[in-house]
Amino acid sequence: MDNTLSFTKPLLETPFHKRTFEACYNNDWYRWAGYKIAREYSNTELEYTSMRNTAGVLDITPMHKYDIKGKDAIKFVDKLVTRDVTQIKPNQVMYIIWCNEDGNVIDDGTVFCFNTNHLRIFCAERNLNWFCDTAIGFDAEVNDVSDSIAALAFQGPLSCKILHLLNVKNIEHLKPFFFDSFDLNGSNVTISRTGFSGDLGYEIWCNPQDALNVWDSLFKFNRDYKVLPAGMNALEMVRIEAGFIQPNADFMSAEQALRPNRMRTPFELGMGWLVDLNKNYFTGKKSLINLKNKSLTKKLVGLDIQGDKPAIGSVLYDKNKKEIGIVTAGMWSPSLKSNIAFGYVDKDHMKIGSKVFAEIYHPEELEYKKIWAECLVVKKQFFNPPRRHKVPADI
Amino acid sequence: MKKFDVIIIGGGHNGLVAACVLSKNGNKVLVIEKNEKLGGLANYSEYLSNISQEVLKELNITVEKNTSDNFVSALSEDLNHTVLQINGSKNVQFLQTSASDSDQKSFINLINKYDLFARTLRSFMFKKPPRVKSGSRSDIWQLFTMGFKVRLLGKKNMRELLRVIGLNIADDLEDNIESDCLKGLISNEAVIGTNLGARSPGSILNLLYNQATNNSFFRINKFNTNSFLKSIEDICKKNNVEIQTNKKVEKINISNQSVNSVLLNTGEQIETSAIISNSDPKTTYLELVGASNLDTDFIRRTNNYRSRGTVAKVNIEFKNDIKIKNLESKYLSGKFVYAPNIKYIEHAFNANKYNKLTSNPCLEFYINKNKISANVYFIPYLKKSSHDKEQILKNIKLILDKFIEENQILSSLIETPNDIESKYNINGGHWSHGDLEIDQLLMMRPFYGSSQYSTPINGLYLCSAGTHPGGGITGINGVNAAKQLLKDKGNG
């Protein structure tokens, strides 16, 4: 892989580019951390359907990967994040968020524990600066290993079956939020049972040299099981159904927001369950203890919206037409057959079952149709099938 | 295990002053000092230019004053030295100079202008700096008076203050004075002890700030250091303050974000509910408190706090009594400055910027018979290496040879910022525990989140020169920190 930037080639290509380029009929690319990633290969709905019914393959190589090595590796992560990670076991994965001193969320990600002296954090935004500053005073070295690992997300109800057919030993016994090394068609890979789809699924981490072999293997049984490469648009659909929020889309990262009132605390994002105020000191603990005792003024909630027109970018109102918030992400969910969204609401409407109204502007052949839709406040996690947590997984 | 109400880390003058104030209020105080001798950096000078009146009043002490005439001589290579006599902050007289009459007049005018501005700054110099968004009534009142004092200067002067406050000293000098020697003399006051050259923005602010803390333009000798240290030590003794020397605090133990005890290098553990650290902010936070007890943003600010020392203290002993060429011997009791022109200072500063040793440093020194005690700058603090002291001495000798009549060096002692760092445990070996620049002053000193002498850790306070109003050996930092602690205790 030639990873040099030039004037004519301003975006990097991932180790899978040879294949993604062939598959991307639309030639529709998205810029993610300097890499070219397909936004849509041929048809977003089709790609979405493959992830919900068979399996979809997503190139997630641009994810930022930070190696943390040293005697204090666990202590360092414990100081960084709001959860207690001191009890993390080798081969375990934990979902984590980290805050700044005011208790505002900077980013979320996952931490993989190889052993007590070696952890790896995966996240969507750049965080090297923050991690290095957090590491001051700890015997822990932070290294950006983003470019040395190629990664695929393999998500869908048949993902385990296909890996099993590929002779990946004991893959069905891998528990959710655990990882291990496996042999995949002759390539040594790390597979974790994690993902952004809210369904059964795996993430496969490999050497860039093995990338094409891994990619090709996943499509080996396509005569029977139509596995499709999926683009970012399809990922956006599944992550909303799964209730996963994204920095700089559903909330502003505290390291990037310019206006102080645009930052969000874990409580406002409905992530209070990730905050452990009884653990050792971590960045933001002092502020979060104060915030915990204060009532929220706004909160990110799930919305079940009347009708079938997605409420993207809508403003939310109460029954007196007073503005109370905004929708951050919305879609028509083909699996759930409902119109769902995430949105911020004020303190009078954050209870499950509250009613708010969305003003939806729906374009219809060069004219906007203005829809006044009633919305029910619900849990953010819309889609959560039992097969997601089942051990052994369905083969 | 022993228990004290307050433990003071470091027996510098500020720590001792704080101990006096606290013990006077009935607290059981322990002072822990790393060295044998108390006083810290104050020991470097025989005389002090300003102990704050508030401190003298608070402690009810009188300090022996220096009675000799205050001469300042600017040495010039053509041996046409300029000698000034300083009486008070404004009264400056030319005793000998090669500068023209009009230059002398503009020089006096300029000094009067700076004096006026410094007086305005002085009015809020020794108070607890207000916080901008705290909402507390006293803070708002103080901010209001600060603004009001500036407005009281009148339209013309207020405009002039606001014009020059961010400016570099060279620009203002070149607008007003022609003599290189006089320009160098004023620039010396603006840049010594800082990481600023004569053309660096903020050097005028630094000049005004120093002038305000010292209450004099040329940092003249007013108080006897030993007398000051002795009288505060006496108060400590009288009030049963326990002082343990030759012991170093290794760690402040913290539980639940409150101080708990200190751990000494002897292995002793001493319990307490409050600590005042006379150590510099970086050492206090990064070494004593430890990063694991502080937010990352705070550690970031601590790490970015600029505290790189630039002045070396040099003592040289000659064989015979020292005589300066072409200068009457009665002026030998005064201060000597060698900073011949702005370009010279800039070149010396340039080397410092890149961590290099300049071969043409600036000097400021006093002569005592056959001994010279000098401040030499710019000698940068080096992180990973140390300076060649032979070379420093050689450079100084080359400069001194131009002015001193034939003499022979018997011995010399050079303490670079690196030496000051290890001797007094000051990160960077900086005179004022950190640059006095606009983003590190007042409510921003040492940095956001640690102003008003308090810290994010309950029961831990700062009283070093790294707090407002900075260095200059005024003792006010100690008084203010102790008062803040007493106030918090009263409320708690």
CB contact under 8 A, A101 and B297: yes
Report the pLDDT averaged over residues B453-481. 92
Single-letter amino acid, residue B294? L
User: Which residues of chain B are within 8 Å of residue A82 when distances are taken between CB atoms?
Assistant: none
Model pLDDT for residues A295-328, shown as the tens digit of each residue: 999 999 999 999 999 999 999 999 999 999 999 9
Query: What is d(CA B304, CA B322) in angstroms, rounded to the nearest whole number?
Result: 44
CATH number of A64-145: 3.30.70.1400
Nearest to A101 among B292, B293, B295 (CB): B295
Secondary element (H or E) of residue A57: strand A56-59
Residue B349 has pLDDT above 60, yes or no: yes
B296 to A134: CB separation less than 8 angstroms, yes or no: yes
Cβ of A134 under 8 Å from any chain B Cβ? yes
Domain boundary among B182, B214, B246: B214
The Cα A151–Cα B147 span in angstroms is 59
Per-residue pLDDT for B41 more than 70?
Answer: yes
**B295 and A100 in contact by Cβ < 8 A?**
yes
Average pLDDT over residues B271-280: 95
Nearest chain B CA: its distance from A139 CA (Å): 11
Give the pLDDT confidence of B84-124 residue by residue, as tens digits.
998 876 788 999 999 999 999 999 999 999 999 999 988 87
CATH class of A296-395: mainly beta
Element (H, E) at A190: strand A187-192
Mean pLDDT in residue range A344-364:
95
- Across the interface, whether the CB atoms of A100 and B293 are under 8 A apart is answered no
Evaluate if residue A3 carries a pLDDT over 60. no
- Could you tell me if B273 and B252 are in contact, meaning their C-beta atoms sit under 8 angstroms apart? no
CA distance B295 to chain A (A): 4
Given B406, B424, B442, which residue is the final one in a domain?
B424
Q: Locate the chain A residue with the closest alpha carbon to B290.
A: A137
pLDDT at A394 over 70: yes
* The one-letter amino acid at B442: L
Q: Which amino acid is at A193?
A: R
Residue A164's pLDDT is 96
Query: Is residue B282 one of the residues assigned to a domain?
Result: yes
What lies within 8 Å, CB to CB, of A374 at 6+ separation is A305, A306, A355, A356, A357
Same-domain check for residues B179 and B265: no
Interface with B, mutate which of A71, A72, A77, A79 (most B CBs under 10 A): A79
CA distance B340 to B345: 8
Q: Closest approach of chain A CAs to the CA of B296, in angstroms?
A: 5
Q: What is the pLDDT of residue A4?
A: 63
- Which of A283, A287, A289 should one mutate to test binding to chain B, selecting the residue with the greatest count of B CBs within 10 A? A283
Of A64, A107, A144, nearest to A266 by C-alpha is A107
Residues B318 and B420 in one domain: yes
Report, as an integer, the average pLDDT of B250-262. 94
Supply the pLDDT for residue B492.
40
Instruction: Give the pLDDT band of residue A250 (cuts 50, 70, 90).
Output: very high
**Residue A75: partners with Cβ closer than 8 Å, 6 or more residues away:** A86, A138, A140, B292
Interface of B with A in 280-299 (CB under 8 A): 286, 290-299
Q: What tens digit of pLDDT does each residue of A43-84 get?
A: 999 999 999 999 999 999 999 999 999 999 999 999 999 999
Q: Please report residues of A whose CB lies closer than 8 A to that of B294.
A: 281
User: Are B161 and B121 contained in the same domain?
Assistant: yes
Number of domains in chain B: 3
Closest CA–CA distance from residue B257 to any residue of chain A (Å): 8
Shared domain for B203 and B120, answered yes or no, is yes
**Is B153 in the same domain as B201?**
yes
Distance from CA of A264 to the nearest CA of B (A): 17
Taking CB atoms and an 8 Å cutoff, what residues of chain A touch B296?
79-80, 100-101, 130, 133-134, 283
Half-sphere exposure of B61 (CA within 13 A, CB side): 24
In the stretch 25-84 of chain A, residues with CB closer than 8 A to chain B read 75, 79-80
**Confidence band (pLDDT; 50, 70, 90) for A345?**
very high
Over range B279-298, report the average pLDDT: 95
Q: Return the number of CB contacts < 8 Å for A and B.
A: 43
Mutation target vs A (from B296, B301, B450, B454; most A CBs, 10 A cutoff)? B296
Query: Cα–Cα distance between B410 and B412 in angstroms, integer?
Result: 7
Model pLDDT for residues A264-283, shown as the tens digit of each residue: 999 999 999 999 999 999 99
CB contact under 8 A, A286 and B257: yes
Do B458 and B399 fall into the same domain? no
- Residues of A within 8 A of B290 (CB-CB) are 137
Choose the weakest-confidence range: A321-325, B132-136, B146-150.
B132-136
Inspect the interface and report whether the beta carbons of B295 and A286 lie closer than 8 Å.
yes
- Give the pLDDT of residue A5: 63
Cβ <8 Å between B303 and A136: yes
Q: Is residue B70 part of a domain?
A: no
**pLDDT of B1 higher than 70:** no
Instruction: Search chain B and give the residue with CA nearest A131.
Output: B296
Chain A neighbors of B456, CB-CB under 8 A: 286
**pLDDT, tens only, A226-244:** 999 999 999 999 999 999 9
User: How buried is A277 (Cβ within 10 angstroms: 0-12 exposed, 13-18 middle, 19+ buried)?
Assistant: exposed
Distance separating alpha carbons of residues B453 and B474, to the nearest angstrom: 16
Could you give the percent of chain B with pLDDT greater than 90?
Answer: 74
Which of A77, A131, A136 to mutate to test binding with chain B, by most B CBs within 10 Å of its CB? A136
Q: Contact at 8 Å (CB) between A14 and A20? A: yes
B258 touches A at CB < 8 Å: no
Per the domain annotation, does B475 fall within a domain? yes
Q: Which of A75, A281, A284 sits opposite B293 (nearest CB)?
A: A281
Q: pLDDT tens, B370-414?
A: 999 999 999 999 988 889 999 999 999 999 999 999 899 999 999
Q: Which two tokens stand for residue B475?
A: 């003792």
Nearest to B291 among A101, A137, A286 (CB): A137
Q: Do B455 and B382 share a structural domain?
A: no
pLDDT of residue A1: 46
Percent of chain A residues past pLDDT 90, beyond the cut: 94
User: In this predicted model, what pLDDT tens digit does every residue of A189-229 receive, in sequence order?
Assistant: 999 999 999 999 999 999 999 999 999 999 999 999 999 99
A110 to chain B, closest Cα gap in Å: 20
Tens of pLDDT, residues A143-170: 999 999 999 999 999 999 999 999 999 9
Same domain membership, residue B447 and residue B303: yes
Instruction: Check CB contact of A281 with chain B, cutoff 8 Å.
Output: yes
Which residue in the set B286, B290, B300 is minimally distant from A133, CB to CB? B300
Whether residues A137 and B449 touch (CB distance < 8 A) is answered with no
- The structural architecture, per CATH, of the domain A17-59+149-242 is 2-Layer Sandwich (3.30)
Contact A238, A199 (CB under 8 A): yes
What mean pLDDT is predicted for residues A256-261? Answer: 89
Contacts of A43 (CB under 8 A, 6+ apart): none
Please report residues of A whose CB lies closer than 8 A to that of B291.
Answer: 79, 136-138
Check residue B53 and give its pLDDT. Answer: 84
Task: Report the C-alpha gap between A124 and A108 in whole angstroms.
Answer: 8
CB contact under 8 A, A138 and B292: yes
- Judged by CB atoms closer than 8 Å, whether chains meet at A137 and B295 is answered as no
Q: Averaged over A103-117, what is the pLDDT?
A: 96
- The pLDDT of residue B123: 81
CA-to-CA distance for A232 and A230, rounded, in angstroms?
Answer: 7
Residue B104 sits in the same domain as residue B142: yes
Same domain, B265 and B328: no
Closest residue, chain B, to A255 (C-alpha): B297
CB contact under 8 A, A100 and B303: no
Over range A252-260, report the average pLDDT: 91
Last residue of a domain, one of B189, B214, B239: B214
Chain A residue nearest residue B286, CA to CA? A137
Give which of A114, A121, A116 is closest to A74, Cα–Cα. A116
pTM here? 0.92
- Res B16: pLDDT: 95
Averaged pLDDT score across all residues of chain A: 94
Interface of A with B in 76-115 (CB under 8 A): 79-80, 100-101
Mean pLDDT of chain B: 92
Instruction: Test B297 with A75 for CB contact under 8 angstroms.
Output: no
Residue-range definition of the domain harbouring residue B246: 3-64+223-307+433-491
Domain spans of chain A? 17-59+149-242, 64-145, 296-395
Strands (E), B143-227: 223-224
Q: B56 and B105, same structural domain? A: no
Kindly report the CATH number assigned to the domain that includes residue B454. 3.50.50.60
Neighboring chain B residues of A281 at a CB cutoff of 8 Å: 257, 292-294
Q: For B319-325, what is the mean pLDDT?
A: 93
Question: Which residues in chain B are closer than 8 Å to A137, comparing Cβ atoms?
Answer: 286, 290-292, 299
- C-beta separation of A390 from A321 below 8 A: no
Under an 8 A CB cutoff, do B296 and A281 touch?
no
Nearest to B286 among A101, A137, A286 (CB): A137
Residues of A in contact with B286 (CB under 8 A): 136-137
Cβ <8 Å between B290 and A137: yes
Residues A129, A135, A138: CA angle, nearest 5 degrees: 170
* Interface contact flag, A138 B298, Cβ < 8 Å: no
The answer to whether position B69 is within a domain reads: no
